[in-house]
C-alpha cells in the first residue's frame, strides 16, 4: 500500500465460496469467506487511498434466496459505513 497513491478495488463475487455466493456464473466450494474480504477492505479503507470500488460477476439467475445479492449489499454497506471521505457518484 505504501507504494501506491490511490487504490481501485474490484470484488469478484466468483471468488467467494458457493456457501456464501451461489449466485455467480462460476461457483466454487473452495472460495474464500466474507471474513477475508472484510479484513482486506478494512485495511484498504484505513489506508485512505480507496478511490473507487466495483462488484463483478453477480448472476441473479443462479442466486438462492438473494443470498449473493445480500452479500454484495453487505460489502457495500461495510465500505460506506467505514469510509469517512467517500463521495458517491450515481
Residue 16: beta bridge partners?
A: 32
Of all residues in the chain, what percent carry a pLDDT higher than 90? 86
- pTM of the complete model: 0.86
Q: 44-81 pLDDT, tens per residue?
A: 999 999 999 999 999 999 999 999 999 999 999 999 88
Instruction: Name which residue leads in pLDDT, 82 or 57.
Output: 57
Distance CA 34, CA 19 (A): 10
**Per residue, what are the HEC states of the chain?**
CCCCCCEEEEEEHHHEECCCCCCECCCECCCECHHHHHHHHHHHHHCCCEEEEEEECECHHHCCCCHHHHHHHHHHHHHHHHCCCCCCCC
Residue 52: beta bridge partners?
A: 8
Amino acid at each position: 500500500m505504501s507504494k501506491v497513491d490511490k487504490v481501485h478495488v474490484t470484488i469478484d463475487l466468483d471468488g467467494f465460496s458457493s456457501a456464501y455466493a451461489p449466485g455467480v456464473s462460476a461457483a466454487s466450494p473452495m472460495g474464500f469467506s466474507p471474513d477475508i474480504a472484510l479484513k482486506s477492505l478494512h485495511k484498504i479503507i484505513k489506508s485512505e487511498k480507496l478511490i473507487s470500488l466495483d462488484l463483478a460477476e453477480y448472476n441473479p439467475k443462479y442466486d438462492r434466496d438473494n443470498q449473493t445479492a445480500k452479500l454484495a449489499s453487505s460489502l457495500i454497506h461495510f465500505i460506506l459505513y467505514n469510509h469517512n471521505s467517500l463521495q458517491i457518484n450515481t
